[in-house]
Amino acid sequence: MHKRAIILALWLTVLSTAVLAQAPIPDWCRALPRPEYKSLERVPVSDAWFEVYKPAPAVFAIYEPHQAEETIGYLIVGQKRALLFDTGMGISDVKKITAELTKLPIIVLNSHTHDDHVGGNWEFDTIYGMDTDFTRKNAQGSREDAQAEVTPDQICGTLPKGFDAKAYVTRPWKIAAYMHDGDRFDLGGRTIEVIATPGHTPDAISLIDRANGLLFTGDTYYPAPIWLYRPETDLDAYGASIRRLAALAPQVKLVLGAHNIPVAQPSVLAQLVTAFDAVRARRVAATPESPGKVLYKVGDISFLMSAPAAH
């Protein structure tokens, strides 16, 4: 064997050993890329941490497929300004991406203030918040939830160059003004209306673009197990909120949720109500998921909830 070939062979052995020594590929990561993305128009951007798609005219879905939340934020563009519905994980620079997609001024609204939806808030000047104590507390930033997002089992592929996992936190942001149920944002030729949909969190909202039949549901609905187990979750409020969304279905052409896949049919809204009612009526068997948590599955809809107390 040529000496250079021997060195190369040795080097390859070292490399493959290093790769094998890493954490195994997490299960959720094996499901990627999700097939639904094949039918969506992809928009090239300069940062490989993000994938951007165009599910509707002048709507960009900003997807983070390399982290287990598979968070999706939406940039909704009008003629005069744009609205960014969630800023993602804050693992890479979302403002750089939005600047590549529009030159218009951007206002930020969050679907709710869990860490995976507000990570890039600090980069923007105009962030509206719901008038809740939960929102105000989260706007102070936090470390614990952010740290849990970057353990090896939560990452698929590589973190952005220069990202320091140990220093990763949700950075604080300033609330420019409070918004309320029914508020309308005129983006110029496009009006977006806020629908308060508390339940997943007290500050959860959905957005409707009535003229274009678009309903952005945040974490109130997305096509994956919906998390309803945290202490800030209110199941009665959630039930009322999803009924409100289901009543809007006749006006809706496309439902855009905040995780995994950006497109769903309006018929999921009625299915969501039926599934949730069945769970609450104890007609659905619980599958243990992890300590203290169970999964309820009804057709294509599933909920991750606290394990019922033993009697």
> For Zn ion, which stretch binds (CB under 5 A), given 33-41, 131-139, 169-177, 219-227?
219-227
Q: Which is nearer to Zn ion, 123 or 219 (CB)?
A: 219
What are the structure tokens assigned to 262, written together? Answer: 């950006």
Least Å from the CB of residue 70 to Zn ion: 12
- Per CB under 5 A, the list member of 69, 115, 219, 232 interacting with Zn ion is 219
Q: What is the 3-state secondary structure (H, E, C) of the chain?
A: CCHHHHHHHHHHHHHHHHHHHCCCCCHHHHCCCCHHHHHCEEECCCCCCCEEEEEECCEEEEECCCECCCEEEEEEECCCCEEEECCCCCCCCHHHHHHHHCCCCEEEECCCCCHHHHCCHHHCCCEEEECCHHHHHHCCCECHHHHHCCCHHHECCCCCCCCCHHHCCECCCCCCEEECCCCEEECCCCEEEEEECCCCCCCCEEEEEHHHCEEEEECCCCCCCEECCCCCCCHHHHHHHHHHHHHHHHHCCEEEECECCCCECCHHHHHHHHHHHHHHCCCCCEEEEECCEEEEEECCEEEEEECCCCC
Least Å from the CB of residue 200 to Zn ion: 6
Q: Which is nearer to Zn ion, 98 or 217 (CB)?
A: 217
Cα–Cα distances in angstroms (integers) from residue 120 to residues 63, 65, 141, 160, 169, in the given order: 13, 16, 11, 15, 11
What are the structure tokens assigned to 250, written together? Answer: 């006749």
Is 114 near Zn ion (CB under 5 A)? yes
Q: Which is nearer to Zn ion, 92 or 110 (CB)?
A: 110
Q: Which is nearer to Zn ion, 203 or 219 (CB)?
A: 219
Site for Zn ion in 238-277 (CB under 5 A): none
Least Å from the CB of residue 112 to Zn ion: 5
Q: Which is nearer to Zn ion, 114 or 190 (CB)?
A: 114
Say which residue the tokens 């409707």 belong to: 208
Least Å from the CB of residue 207 to Zn ion: 16
Is 115 near Zn ion (CB under 5 A)? no
Q: Which is nearer to Zn ion, 116 or 209 (CB)?
A: 116
Q: Which is nearer to Zn ion, 78 or 202 (CB)?
A: 202
Least Å from the CB of residue 230 to Zn ion: 8
> For Zn ion, which stretch binds (CB under 5 A), given 71-79, 124-132, 171-179, 214-222?
214-222
> For Zn ion, which stretch binds (CB under 5 A), given 106-114, 246-254, 263-271, 296-304?
106-114
Least Å from the CB of residue 114 to Zn ion: 3
Is 86 near Zn ion (CB under 5 A)? no
Least Å from the CB of residue 219 to Zn ion: 4
Which residue number has the CB closest to Zn ion? Answer: 114
Chain contacts with Zn ion (rule: CB under 5 A): 114, 219
